[in-house]
Chains A and B, each alone.
Chain A
Amino acid sequence: MTATDTTRRLEISSIKSFGEYAWKRLSARPRLTVGCILVAFVVFMGIFAPWIAPNDPSESSINVLIGPTHANWFGTDDLGRDVFSRVIYGARTSLIIGIGGAVVAVLVGAPIGLLAGYLGGVVDLILVPVIDLFLAMPALVLALIIITMVGASFGNIVLVLGFVMWPIIARLVRGQALTVKTQPFVDAAKVAGAGPIWIMRKHVWPNLMRVIAAQFAIIVSFCIFTSASLSFLGLGVPPPTPDWGGMVRTGSDFLSINPLMSLAPGLAVAVTAVGFYLMGSAVE
């Protein structure tokens, strides 16, 4: 019996139950665990909003700006709408914009990064400065300018966010493609007579998926962050859609009357963005 066997046996025997095993795995990655819980919570809110929300989010009443009561947990806003219900429905807007923006970013960024990294040469030489230029530009400022030009609508915001975030994905994918390209199995595939498209699809792409997935979650977080900032600056999703950033914007004027009118949606943005960020950064 060698010493290695002894070690292995000791490790296995020291775990007593499945519960302990699961706890060890989860507590070993607190970031991922917390991130998943937060995201699951928000997604649940978004999906089941009509059942969870006690009131119609766009129904006004004469009880404007009242503090928290039994009927209105977070009080009401300046039009007498229930803040709690609006926060719950706001999860939908935020999730759709965040995920939509990240999808656009991947759809634009991944192919560009793949082309630059895998083809190299002139293509790389042209694309890299463009990627760097976009990366150096303030995402929020860029989004503000473009939104002014194209007009603030739900679809436009998703497209603009994707357009602002794509360089992050492109740079990442390019880096990955460069490292994957130099690995022996790609050469082996070339020797076997595979064309560049086939190699990209069969060998480069699967390797990229994990990295993209991690970055995807982080970009969802950035998109939610940025779209909320846009709304806060008055260039977000047009009313009456319940939108967290917009709620904070109007609520901030009444901070001393009903603080929850802006703090609650603000906290919701923070929780969602932090959740996705934790998820992404844990896998990264």
Chain B
Amino acid sequence: MFGVVVRRLALGVPTIFAATLLLFVSVAKLGSPAAEMLGQDATPDAIAALNLKYGFDKPVLEQYLNWLASALHGDLGRSYVSQELVSETLIHALPVSLELAFWAFLFALLASVILNTVPVGRSLLTPFTTSLNVIGMAVPNFMLGLFLIFFFAIRLKILPTTGWVGWDQGPFEHLRHLVLPVLTLAAYYFATFSIIYRAEFLSVQRRLFVRVAAAKGLSNWHVAFTHILPNAILPVITIAGLSIGQAIGGAVVTETIFSMPGVGGLFVSSIVGHDFPTMLAIGMITVAGVVLFNTIADLLLAIVNPLIRMS
């Protein structure tokens, strides 16, 4: 089990460095950030002074190593735009994104597993789930979010359109503001899980031990939930880890539509505003997140599956 983690990290940690280096080099090729920051009527002297201050005049590799050294100490630099500490901004934004992702993930997992496991009414449920899969797979998040806002917030007026309300203003208001973003983000997760889980469920269903369980006199529900589910859910765990990257993209869009103060929204504004320290930091967090979640997925798989756990 320990080996699984080591193997993942041995590949993952260099990946994080490689990705940030790539990002850093390409950003540096864009031109002088100093000129960017000072605007069009900056004097050459002012640019040179700023270059000196931030070390923009040094070789790219040296700049990267400096950045990396301070990043590893928790110092991600200051935003070019707001002049605030990037780490400070991120600490406020990260919980928002993580909570959004957590609920969406949970909701998608429960919905996809339950809808594909329930042994009754398959003739109605299957077309329904299949349509949801296609929608989740192919309909862009922003489109989904917009439709949800239009129906639930503008037409029915039962949910708020956009925005974020903290826990301190009451859990009910907080969760009410989360419903639509969570549904929007959950769509992609749902489709990914549902497609994999369903295929796996059908193949497990054909295995002999399922028939044996039925021969014991267990009900269809019992067989589906206690015998097929635990076997069919294993690949979903792997896919959940692998799809985290694509889901981050979905989170960026979702946070933008619903004007949430999360990392995704911050990322878009940092790109639009050419705020490279923020962009780099988020890039690093994204890659680290991908690596981390893949490792967790492998670990979970090892815990659930006795075959791997024993070896």
A262 to B150 alpha-carbon distance, docked (Å): 10
* A residues in contact with B139, CB < 8 Å: 225, 269-270, 273-274
Q: Is the CB of A263 within 8 A of B248?
A: no
Q: When the two chains form their complex, are residues A233 and B256 in contact, meaning their CB atoms are under 8 A apart? A: yes
Are A138 and B248 in touch, CB under 8 angstroms? yes
| Most chain B CB within a 10 A radius of its CB, from A245, A266, A267, A276 | A266
Binding site for A on B (CB under 8 A): 11, 15, 18-19, 23, 26-27, 29-30, 134-135, 137-143, 146-147, 149-150, 154, 242, 245-250, 252-253, 256-257, 267-268, 271-272, 274, 279, 283, 286-287, 290, 294
Please judge, given known A-B contacts A137-B245, A233-B252, whether A255 and B146 are in contact too, CB under 8 Å: yes
Known contacts A149-B26, A269-B139; can you find 9 more A-B pairs with CB under 8 A?
Answer: A133-B19, A135-B245, A136-B294, A140-B246, A140-B253, A144-B268, A145-B283, A221-B138, A270-B143
B140 contact set on A, CB distance < 8 A: 225, 228-229, 232, 245, 266, 269-270, 273
Known: A255-B154, A277-B138. A229 touches B147 (CB 8 A): no
Residues from chain A with Cβ under 8 Å of B268 in the complex = 144, 233-234
Interface size on A, residues (CB 8 A): 39
Task: Tell me the smallest distance from the CB of A236 to a CB of chain B, in Å.
Answer: 11
Among B11, B27, B29, B139, residue most surrounded by chain A Cβ atoms (within 10 Å): B139
Which of A135, A252, A263, A278 has a CB less than 8 Å from the CB of B257?
A252
Query: Does A139 sit at the interface, judged by CB under 8 A?
Result: yes
A14 at the interface (CB under 8 A from B): no
* A154 CB → nearest B CB, Å: 19
Contact A137 B26 (CB under 8 A): no
Within 215-246 of A, Cβ neighbours of B (below 8 Å) are at 221, 225, 228-229, 232-235, 245
Would you mind naming 29 contact pairs between A and B with Cβ atoms under 8 Å apart? Answer: A129-B11, A133-B15, A136-B245, A138-B248, A138-B252, A139-B246, A140-B246, A140-B250, A144-B252, A145-B283, A149-B29, A221-B138, A225-B139, A228-B142, A232-B140, A232-B256, A245-B140, A252-B146, A252-B257, A255-B149, A266-B142, A266-B146, A266-B147, A269-B140, A270-B140, A273-B139, A274-B139, A277-B137, A277-B138
Report the nearest B residue to A232, measured CB to CB. B142
Cβ contacts under 8 Å, B19 to chain A: 133, 137
Residues 137-179 of chain A: 1 if any B CB is under 8 Å from the residue's CB, otherwise 0?
A: 1111100110011000000000000000000000000000000
